[in-house]
Structure 1
């Protein structure tokens, strides 16, 4: 057992006195807890401190591990260039960890190095820790757009490498909570913000990381957080371990939530298999969803599963309803995993003989040919949810006032460029947001004049 403890801490730059210039006194509770938790870390005399930061190199499909002999950084971007932090990397640990990633087929490692200095989410925990501990080595690891399972498994790998190397190790999850707690805060208010922060606080207070994993993805997205994935990685580090945890403080006076928590490892506990329990619940929930699907969604799932398992197109089944076999319509097939988009492909006009053929084709495209995602793997199928949108014919509109994001999808056109967005999507609450997303998807700049079209859908689950 070489993982000795783990802590969760925030990283507001103003907590550094030379940056805050007095404003840091408004988060004195966080400062006091930060000092306490770093004294706690130092008490274990760790040889290696692993820090997960959301502000180092980040990629959609890859978790970056900093490499080399070490790195330095300063708070110059926050007006305090005289405050510097130096780190020495545990190169043996890093090499062993990256080899373990390769063995486990995890999309993580040393690739993608770009930053030449330490990021503030790494430096702030080190600034506090350096008051109480010297001569420790560091492993820095980022986050990605990959799902929570991958981050959890990276955490498990960290614990396994620490044990194999017999390295006395402490993990630091550096992350702020919701950035959307106040209307007059820097990022405004979102009702998901307080919900997210309450869920995190309860998870930490009860040392229950199953609750952490169970936070809905739309809540995370709406909250505008940056700590969820570092904390999920921390849960992986603590997988199957008996822990004694404590939430030291929580506050959010500036509209951003700051939580400080610590967890000491006291032994082994197979009941703390948080990810296994989460996946079991997701699998059971998805099975119920599959059993209640209408024939549109059922056909899409059948097409997806057939293609993923057999690498061939499903032949149109017998016995389908006339609405599927005798009508033509444009279709979009959407896939989600743990509430996050996993693929979505369709068309704005019919391309096949009937709706059934559209569904079969676009289910395959969504699971294997959406350029934003890797193809769906067979082991993911129990956790994929499927929906089918059947579109009405688009109609031109004269102004944004004719849009309703709950009722209408939108097409934004500028010459040969276009962007499309389906209606009634989580987190998209205004026509302005619809158009902004469509411009981005269609590579249409904000100053280009556009034509707008709207359409309705019948959504099948």
Structure 2
């Protein structure tokens, strides 16, 4: 019977590798020492396999990606250090076992062999999310085999259930393993961060690490989604998969270090795995929490959001276009305005379509037609399928009349949306969007959407919205 010997949370900044940093790595020397401490611990445990969960391999919206060739290798050439090379043999039997067990939990896994990678146009080299942690491990120990996993944009309870599948597959094997959850924390820690700044970045880092140190799985899974989104992290799902793999076990997490001089949070955590405990079997409660959250969201819907959801559910399930009910608020039946309907799944955009100015007889009809378009005709996504409906969240933006803007100084991406126009070309960006923190970012994205070059003449308008969510 195999077992999970220990788990580790490790960041993956390429600059920490001396061949990349060329001295700049001194700014995160504490992180480097902590990662070396993890490597020493792994060397003492001598696992048969290292299971690494990374955000930077091939990412699927609805599946976990498992590398399934005989070996995987990569280098840091894209960071001007091609001499830093790492190669591992893949444990194909354990990888297949994980995928098989995950299917019992209704989790889809994409097994990426050569044919699959060719079909999806995927690079077969090891990503830096795996390379950087393994760079430190390699200095102390080379495991016989690697299991390389890239998380997908699944819900947290699905990611947790996948971790449980990893645990079960390991225990049904004869392999002793360690798990590395690769991921950086907030990317918005300082004003000079390339991703922008928010004080919520540090709040996120401190809260997550505090909950980990307390082994508070329920607290981590139920963290405020808005806080997570604002932090712009890339490690949350890796960590939740790791916690799922420890479901039913006592464990203690020791935060070895946390720093962020480059505006990105680097947290290193060593997790010791203890004995089995019925009290620590949390998968069912994690699932129940998700269902309770979705019920709370549904119960709190206002008429605008409820109409968008009912429209999509009826159209996807029955192929019918509903008509505005007479019981809707008067303003939805008498007012005319442009409307955008946005649909999210597991915190990720799943569709967004709208009209700059009114096309239909009232706001209600505008919502109905744009909700159908957002769910089935957004060119960025495949049409929504019936089995997704229960996991979707909706928002409706009713646009107020736009006004001309004379300079970029009159823009505020948190308060105003923006419209750029040149001839028949136009691009619109709604206000208060995640990752859009400056007028320059807002304007750049709107120009790209319109197909307008920045050096071309164009007009700018701004507008406010009534947001319903």
TM bucket (normalised to shorter chain) is 0.7 to 0.9
Question: 1:109 maps to what in 2?
Answer: 111
If the length of structure 1 is used for normalisation, what is the TM-score?
0.86
Deviation (angstroms), 1:186: 5.7
- In the alignment, the residues of structure 1 paired with residue 184 and residue 238 of structure 2 have an alpha-carbon distance, to the nearest angstrom, of 10
- What pairs up with 1:261-410 in 2 under 5 angstroms? 261-272=269-280, 276-376=284-384, 380-410=388-418
Question: 1:50 maps to what in 2?
Answer: 51
Question: 2:436 maps to what in 1?
Answer: 428
Range moving further from structure 2, 423-432 or 352-361? 423-432
The change in CA–CA distance for 1:185 and 1:346 in structure 2 (over 3 A counts) is closer
Question: 2:39 maps to what in 1?
Answer: 38
- In the alignment, the residues of structure 1 paired with residue 285 and residue 56 of structure 2 have an alpha-carbon distance, to the nearest angstrom, of 30
Task: Give the secondary structure class of the aligned counterpart of 1:65.
Answer: strand
The one of 238, 250, 263 equivalent to 1:242 is: 250
- In the alignment, the residues of structure 2 paired with residue 77 and residue 141 of structure 1 have an alpha-carbon distance, to the nearest angstrom, of 21
- In the alignment, the residues of structure 2 paired with residue 403 and residue 144 of structure 1 have an alpha-carbon distance, to the nearest angstrom, of 35
Task: Give the secondary structure class of the aligned counterpart of 2:466.
Answer: strand
Question: 1:449 maps to what in 2?
Answer: 457
Deviation (angstroms), 1:46: 1.8
- In the alignment, the residues of structure 2 paired with residue 39 and residue 61 of structure 1 have an alpha-carbon distance, to the nearest angstrom, of 36
Deviations 1:376-419 (A, max 9, x none): 45565455333322223444444334434344322222344332
- In the alignment, the residues of structure 1 paired with residue 283 and residue 315 of structure 2 have an alpha-carbon distance, to the nearest angstrom, of 28
8 A contact 1:217–1:340 mirrored in 2: no
- What pairs up with 1:83-98 in 2 under 5 angstroms? 83-98=84-99
The change in CA–CA distance for 1:319 and 1:278 in structure 2 (over 3 A counts) is same
- In the alignment, the residues of structure 2 paired with residue 435 and residue 4 of structure 1 have an alpha-carbon distance, to the nearest angstrom, of 50
Deviations 1:338-392 (A, max 9, x none): 5443332221233333322222232333334433344445565455333322223
The change in CA–CA distance for 1:447 and 1:233 in structure 2 (over 3 A counts) is farther
8 A contact 2:63–2:107 mirrored in 1: no
Deviation (angstroms), 1:206: 1.3
- In the alignment, the residues of structure 2 paired with residue 270 and residue 442 of structure 1 have an alpha-carbon distance, to the nearest angstrom, of 56
Question: 1:169 maps to what in 2?
Answer: 177
List structure 1 runs of 4+ shifted beyond 6 angstroms.
Answer: none
Range moving further from structure 2, 148-157 or 87-96? 148-157
Range moving further from structure 2, 3-12 or 412-421? 412-421
RMSD: 3.1
- What pairs up with 1:116-127 in 2 under 5 angstroms? 116-127=124-135
- In the alignment, the residues of structure 1 paired with residue 236 and residue 411 of structure 2 have an alpha-carbon distance, to the nearest angstrom, of 33
Range moving further from structure 2, 74-83 or 135-144? 74-83
The change in CA–CA distance for 1:17 and 1:424 in structure 2 (over 3 A counts) is closer
- In the alignment, the residues of structure 1 paired with residue 375 and residue 396 of structure 2 have an alpha-carbon distance, to the nearest angstrom, of 13
If the length of structure 2 is used for normalisation, what is the TM-score?
0.85
8 A contact 1:101–1:108 mirrored in 2: no
- In the alignment, the residues of structure 1 paired with residue 288 and residue 99 of structure 2 have an alpha-carbon distance, to the nearest angstrom, of 28
Deviation (angstroms), 1:253: 3.4
8 A contact 1:57–1:112 mirrored in 2: no
Question: 2:74 maps to what in 1?
Answer: 73
The change in CA–CA distance for 1:251 and 1:394 in structure 2 (over 3 A counts) is closer
- In the alignment, the residues of structure 1 paired with residue 453 and residue 102 of structure 2 have an alpha-carbon distance, to the nearest angstrom, of 40
The change in CA–CA distance for 1:372 and 1:214 in structure 2 (over 3 A counts) is farther
